[in-house]
Amino acid sequence: MAAITTRQRTGWTVANFVVAVYALIPVLWLVSLSLKDKSTFTDGHFIPRKWTFENYVNIFKVGGFTQPLINSIGIAIISTVIAIVLGTFAAYAIARLEFPGKRLMLGASLLIAMFPQVSLVTPMFQIERSIGLFNTWPGLILPYITFTLPLTIYTLSAFLREIPWELEKAAKMDGATPFQAFRQVIVPLAMPGVVTTAILAFIQCWNDFVFAISLTSSNRARTAPAAISFFTGASQFEDPVGSIMAAAVVITIPIIIFVLIFQRRIVSGLTSGAVKG
C-alpha cells in the first residue's frame, strides 16, 4: 500500500469534517434549544444567550419523565436479551442444520420484518386489551421481540456461517456435548456478531414510537419516546419545546453508553488462525 500523502490526508480530514458537521448539526441544535431559557427559544441564535438547566430539571420534577425512562430501559434491555438468545439459537439452526421448512421459516421471518407496523397496531391493541397485556411491560416486550427477531436471525446466521464447522466437530471429538461446543466454541467466536446485532436490536426497541404510543395508556408502561409526546407546557398557551428538547437529549444518552460499552467487544478478525491460512 502506498503511503498516504499530505494532500490525501487533508482531503480525508475535510471530507470527514463535512460529514460529521452535517450529521451533528441537528443534534447540536437539539442540545442548544434544550439549554435555552424559555424567553429566548425563538431568538435564532445557535449558541444560547441565556443558559439554563431548568428544562432538564423540569422533565424529571414536573413532567414525571423518570418512570418512562425506566420503562424504556427495562423494556428495551429485556426485549434485546430475549431476542438475542432466541435469535442465536435460531440462527445457529439455520446456519448449521438442514431441516424441512428452513426456507419457509426464513421467509416468514423476513415477511414479519417487511410488514408495516402501523397496520398491526389496531389488531394488537384489541388483542392486548382482551388478554390483559395492554399497558404492561410484556405488552410491549412481545411485539418488540417479534420485530427484532428477523433482524437478529438474519445477521447472526450470516455471522455463524462464517465460523468453520470443523471447529464444532473438533469440540465434539474433544469431548464436548453439543451445548458445550456451542457455548464454549461457537458463541465466543460469534461474539462480534452477537454484539453488533444486540446494538441494532436495542436501538430498534429503544426508538420505537408506534407501538409505545398505541399499546400504553399511562406511565405504568409508557416508554420515553411516547412520554415525550404527552409533555405539556406550564400553561395551555405555552409550548413544551424546552422540555421536549431536553427529553430528546436525555434519551440519546443511554444509546451512546450502550454502544460505547459494546463497541470495544466488536473485534474483527477473531477467527483468524482457526483453520489453515
Partner 1 sequence: MAEIVLDQVSKQYPDGTTAVDKVNLEIADHEFIILVGPSGCGKTTTLNMIAGLEDISSGEMRIDGKRVNEVAPRDRDIAMVFQSYALYPHMTVRENIGFPLKLAKVDKATAKQKIEEAAGVLDLTPYLDRKPGALSGGQRQRVAMGRAIVRSPKAFLMDEPLSNLDAKLRVQMRTSISRIQKRLGTTTVYVTHDQTEAMTLGDRIVIMRAGVVQQIGSPQELYERPVNLFVAGFIGSPSMNFVPGTIADNAVDTVLGRIPLTDRVRAALNQHGDVPREVIIGVRPEAFEDASLVEGRGEGVTFTAPVDILESMGSVKYAYFSLENAHVDSEHLAELERDTGSEEIEAQIVTELDARSAVKEGQDQEVWFSPDSINIFEPSSGTNLTAGK
Task: Return the residues of window 89-108 that contact partner 1 according to CB under 8 A.
Answer: none
Judged by CB under 8 A, does residue 162 bind partner 1?
no
- The residue behind cell 483453520 is 275
CA distance 263 to 249: 21
From 43, 162, 174, 238, residue interacting with partner 1 (rule: CB under 8 A):
174
Judged by CB under 8 A, does residue 42 bind partner 1?
no
Q: Specify whether the CB–CB gap between 94 and 106 falls below 8 A.
A: yes
- The residue behind cell 394488537 is 124
- Return the number of the residue (104 or 267) whose C-beta is nearest partner 1: 267
CA distance 4 to 17: 18
Judged by CB under 8 A, does residue 196 bind partner 1?
no
What SS3 state is found at 162?
coil
CA distance 145 to 83: 5
- Return the number of the residue (123 or 269) whose C-beta is nearest partner 1: 269
Q: How is residue 40 annotated by DSSP?
A: G
Judged by CB under 8 A, does residue 177 bind partner 1?
yes
Provide the sign of the torsion angle of the four alpha carbons 138, 232, 56, 32, taken in this order.
positive
Judged by CB under 8 A, does residue 170 bind partner 1?
yes
Cell of 105: 421459516
Counting Cβ atoms within 10 Å, is residue 205 exposed (0-12), middle (13-18) or buried (19+)?
buried
- Return the number of the residue (123 or 175) whose C-beta is nearest partner 1: 175
- Return the number of the residue (176 or 200) whose C-beta is nearest partner 1: 176
Minimum distance from residue 169 beta carbon to partner 1 (Å): 5
From 38, 96, 129, 172, residue interacting with partner 1 (rule: CB under 8 A):
172
From 130, 175, 235, 256, residue interacting with partner 1 (rule: CB under 8 A):
175
Query: Measuring CA to CA, which residue among 37, 14, 46 is closest to residue 246?
Result: 37
From 78, 82, 203, 274, residue interacting with partner 1 (rule: CB under 8 A):
274
Stretch of residues binding partner 1 (CB under 8 A), selected from 20-28, 113-121, 148-156, 159-167: 159-167
- Residues near partner 1 (CB under 8 A) are 164, 166-167, 169-177, 180, 185, 188-189, 269-277
